[in-house]
Amino acid sequence: MAIHSYPGRLFNRLFCDFLHLHSSHYHHGRSKRLLISRFFQPMNLRDDRMTGAGRSSELSCKSQRLMLQAGLIQPANTGCFHYLPFTVRAMEKLVRVIDEEMQSIGGQKVDMPSLTSASLWKISERWDLLGKELFRLKDRHNVEYCLSPTHEEAVTELVAMQGNLSYKQLPLMLYQVTRKFRDEPKPRFGLLRGREFYMKDMYTFDVSEKAAMETYNLVSDAYTRIFEQLGLEFVKVQADTGSIGGKMSHEFQLPAEIGEDRLLMCSDCHFAANVEAMMGAETNCPQCHGKLRESKGIEVGHTFYLGTKYSRILGASYSNTENKPIVAEMGCFGLGVTRILAASIEILSTEDNIRWPGLLAPYQVCIISPKKGSKEELVTELAATLYDTLIDALPQLHGEVVLDDRSHLTIGKRLKDANHLGYPYVVIAGKRVLENPPVFEVSCQNNGKTVFLTQEGVLDFLRNVKVA
């Protein structure tokens, strides 16, 4: 008997096992308070409890050490990490910033498979070229695949399959934010060089080289805006096109001692390049002959003008004004999503305390309640009231405020933990909550300042906090 013949409601009433009825409205009401005592390990991975990979000598950079200590990541396999709740929150915020910028320039979001067939990579001759960096596998029918580290072939085939792009649809800008795979010879530095990582990759299709260059600059400018929003100083350098190929390439580098890229920059003009992109070991600027200085950087973005390298061999073309098929000019544009997170921490943090780009901090505000047994314990509900009032009055802080309810710990100990994790604002219900009206201590992590404010004052103070 076909299920379809039952009216839905009756069907459920008659047959459903354990069916619980609930309001079917999508609820946006106040959620429960976020209590640190219930968090999965933001402060549990202390120095004295560091597990295997955490303790070993491979722990050679600050961001990896801090992220392990604070319970932001946990090693799984070589070069593969569990991203724990704080990291997931920061990553989701970064993805929102990236989505906003990519879509503001016309980017359309797609999601391509991780498994790409060997046959496609053989067409571009990269099946052999990438050698051991490709993770390769066979399915149950003995068909060969790789785990895609990048998707030039896949996206070009996807566009070629449409076979009916009009010049009016160009530039076509497709992007995704997905997990990528690379069998690194030396995975290290935590999320800075892993074997599984998240990347934003955009692929663009244009009518001509001139149009492709305009698109190239459009995307590069969007990258600039992203790093500016994050408050990260960067250098855009001329780069080698490597195994991706193409005619022109730039990298977005974050200057850092730990960086694995060597950059050469001219003190007199705007020239900057990755050493890999230079012919031999030059000491003078090829543009103005000024002296070149060397520095190190973490590559967080890479842009390529590809020309027709992939579109020609895979047949990605468009119809021009005369309805004639023309091979599209391509560009590709990567941002290392998980790498940007780790690089930000590497660059902004002190030796002991994580500092985030304000927009990416997993939670914006931490409220520390009075210690159990203290005089202030009498007004311990003031911390909870402040929590609820903040959420009600400032909707953008919904989900952004945590309450450190571990009242068996001193305020000093909890403040140290909060400093360690890098909440931009820490609000302490300390001695002065006994005053009338009660006064809270607000510590601003990004400028080190402390102010004393009433509840009303705290609300005003946090009114303009930006949340991605």
Site for a copy of itself in 385-414 (CB under 8 A): 399
Instruction: Check residue 456 for interaction with a copy of itself (CB under 8 A).
Output: no
Near a copy of itself in 198-217, by CB under 8 A: none
Q: List, in sequence order, every residue forming a beta bridge with 117; answer none if it has no partner.
A: 145
Nearer to a copy of itself, 1 or 436 (CB): 1
Q: Which of 47, 125, 214, 221 binds a copy of itself (CB under 8 A)?
A: 221
> Within 10 A of 202 (CB to CB), how many other CB atoms are there?
27
Instruction: Check residue 466 for interaction with a copy of itself (CB under 8 A).
Output: yes
Q: Which of 47, 125, 139, 381 binds a copy of itself (CB under 8 A)?
A: 139
Q: Are 330 and 311 in contact (CB under 8 A)?
A: yes
Near a copy of itself in 318-337, by CB under 8 A: none
Nearer to a copy of itself, 321 or 436 (CB): 321
CA–CA gap between residue 276 and residue 416 (Å, rounded) = 43
Instruction: Check residue 47 for interaction with a copy of itself (CB under 8 A).
Output: no
CA–CA gap between residue 399 and residue 135 (Å, rounded) = 38
Near a copy of itself in 94-133, by CB under 8 A: 97, 100, 103-104, 106, 108-117, 132
CA–CA gap between residue 466 and residue 117 (Å, rounded) = 43
Please state whether the peptide bond connecting residue 437 to the residue before it is cis, i.e. omega within 30 degrees of 0.
Answer: yes
Near a copy of itself in 168-197, by CB under 8 A: 168-169, 172, 174, 178-179, 181, 183, 185, 195-196
CA–CA gap between residue 337 and residue 314 (Å, rounded) = 28
User: Closest distance between a copy of itself and the C-beta of residue 17, in Å?
Assistant: 4
Nearer to a copy of itself, 134 or 306 (CB): 134
> Within 10 A of 317 (CB to CB), how many other CB atoms are there?
21
Site track for a copy of itself across 2-41, x = CB under 8 A: xxx---xx-xx-xxxxxxx-x-xxxx---xx----xxxxx
Residue 419, CA atoms < 13 Å, CB-side half-sphere: 15
Nearer to a copy of itself, 268 or 456 (CB): 268
Q: How many residues bind a copy of itself (CB under 8 A)?
A: 119
Residue 421, CA atoms < 13 Å, CB-side half-sphere: 32
Instruction: Check residue 241 for interaction with a copy of itself (CB under 8 A).
Output: no
Instruction: Check residue 267 for interaction with a copy of itself (CB under 8 A).
Output: yes
Looking at residue 262, its amino acid is R
Cα-flanking dihedrals φ and ψ of residue 327, to 5°?
A: -65, 135
- The whole-angstrom distance between residue 437's C-alpha and the CA centroid of its chain comes to 42
> Within 10 A of 168 (CB to CB), how many other CB atoms are there?
9
Give the DSSP letter of residue 468: -
User: Closest distance between a copy of itself and the C-beta of residue 275, in Å?
Assistant: 14
Which H or E run includes 76? strand 73-77
Instruction: Check residue 49 for interaction with a copy of itself (CB under 8 A).
Output: yes
Instruction: Check residue 167 for interaction with a copy of itself (CB under 8 A).
Output: no
Instruction: Check residue 279 for interaction with a copy of itself (CB under 8 A).
Output: no
